[in-house]
Amino acid sequence: MKVIIIGGFLGSGKTTTLLKLGKYLNDKGEKIAIIVNEIGEIGVDGTTLDIEGVETREITNGCICCTLKIDMEQALDSLAEEYGPDTVIIEPTGVAFPRQIKEEIELMKIADMEFSPIINLIDGSRFDLEIEQVPKFIKTQIEDADILGINKIDVATDEQINKVKALLQHYNNNDARILEFSAKENEGNFEELIETISGEGKQREHSAKQNSIAESNVSSHAIEFAIESNDLEIKKGHELANGIVDSILSQFIHLNPDFIGHIKMSMDLPETFLKISLTSSTNKPEIEIFERENVANPKVRALAAVTNIRQDEVVKILENTIEETFTEMGIALQRIQQHTDTKNIINLCDNSI
């Protein structure tokens, strides 16, 4: 069983890359499974993966540094036994150190496992902010990588990309291969990345354990509400989503003008699934809309994981903004669940992705 680990800070493009890699390997006839570990117990991306045709199975919740180990071991064991994939693709949370995840898995002594090179994605369009906001954390992620992927070249300038490349060469002493691409647009070296992944990972001395979440300076909160209206139309949903994210953005900027992270919100509306995503104080929100069959229980889920803003502020802003915006539109919400912890989801790919 081959294990591929796709690391990278919050919002760097891991899920986008994973879905394309999954599709490529699947088209080649490989049987694959995907493990996604999202910060916050409410899987905002789980639904997206689901829509892309990926079967989702949830396992227990836990923190990356303790229970996750047990969850991951159980997940891999049961996958190997019950599903027998050729390849497992793992997306750790954006606040994990990918090499630490690899080392934990190596200790599990699961039979016939081999590792691909560790990929760490870097958002080429916001690297300045990453280095400014979480320098030590980003440097560790860079040192950890066998392949450094500068992503989002479609929205970065040549000057930005050249600067990132020079800094990556400076921070990575292990001759990591540097590739530049757009995972979303399939531009640049993206095909090369996909092909390089089939190679073999490098062996290294085990690193000293670090608490990655504490070092990331990230506060996160996730929340889920039932929408008490069965006729919320896509146009109004779109308007609501834009209004909420714009308001959260301006409140976060007030507390930290240079934050990076990932604010993502999804809405299950009667005939559509809508996802909105924002990855830094200077970035524009991106909306994706998917057609859906009739959904019986409309829901809104949101997750905010951002640098250098206090946890209680993140909780208050996320919850109040969603509740107030819906109330202003005359739509009632019912709280389903809320979490500030970490989540593991196992997604088993079926043949249709």
Shortest approach of ligand GTP to residue 260 CB, angstroms?
A: 11
- Work out what residue 13 binds among Mg ion, ligand GTP, none; the CB cut-off runs from 5 to 8 Å by kind: ligand GTP
Residue 2 belongs to what H/E stretch? strand 2-8
Q: Give the long-range contacts of residues 272-278, CB within 8 A, separation 24 or more.
A: 272/234, 272/237, 273/47, 273/48, 273/51, 274/234, 274/237, 274/238, 274/241, 275/44, 275/48, 276/241, 276/242, 276/245, 277/11, 278/245, 278/249
148 vs 183, which CB is nearer to ligand GTP? Answer: 183
Exposed e or buried b for every residue in 117-130, given b needs 16+ CB within 10 A? Answer: bbbbbbbbbbbbbb
Q: Do residues 158 and 187 touch, judged by C-beta distance below 8 A?
A: no
38 vs 270, which CB is nearer to ligand GTP? Answer: 38
Considering only residues 8 to 27 of the shown chain, the ones binding Mg ion according to CB under 5 A are 14-15
- Work out what residue 200 binds among Mg ion, ligand GTP, none; the CB cut-off runs from 5 to 8 Å by kind: none
279 vs 281, which CB is nearer to ligand GTP? Answer: 279
Contact region for Mg ion (CB under 5 A) — 7-15, 56-64, 131-139, 156-164?
7-15
Shortest approach of ligand GTP to residue 309 CB, angstroms?
A: 16
Which single residue is written with the structure tokens 């016939």? 112
- Give the tokens for residue 83: 């599903």
Give me the phi and psi of 118, to 5 degrees please.
Answer: -75, 125
102 vs 152, which CB is nearer to ligand GTP? Answer: 152
Strands 119-123, 114-115: pairing is: unpaired
> What DSSP letter does each residue of 49-107 carry, written as one string?
HHHTTEEEEE-----TTTHHHHHHHHHHHHIIIII--SEEEEE--TTS-HHHHHHHHHH
- Work out what residue 152 binds among ligand GTP, Mg ion, none; the CB cut-off runs from 5 to 8 Å by kind: ligand GTP
- Work out what residue 350 binds among Mg ion, ligand GTP, none; the CB cut-off runs from 5 to 8 Å by kind: none
Residue nearest to Mg ion (CB): 15
- Work out what residue 8 binds among ligand GTP, Mg ion, none; the CB cut-off runs from 5 to 8 Å by kind: ligand GTP
Dist CA 5 CA 92 (whole Å): 7
Q: What residue ranges bind ligand GTP (CB under 6 A)?
A: 8, 10-16, 94, 151-152, 154-155, 182-185, 262, 277, 279, 286
Shortest approach of ligand GTP to residue 288 CB, angstroms?
A: 7
244 vs 333, which CB is nearer to ligand GTP? Answer: 244
With binding defined as CB under 5 A, does residue 279 bind Mg ion?
Answer: no
- Work out what residue 321 binds among Mg ion, ligand GTP, none; the CB cut-off runs from 5 to 8 Å by kind: none
Q: Do residues 303 and 264 touch, judged by C-beta distance below 8 A?
A: yes
Residue ranges in contact with Mg ion by CB under 5 A: 14-15
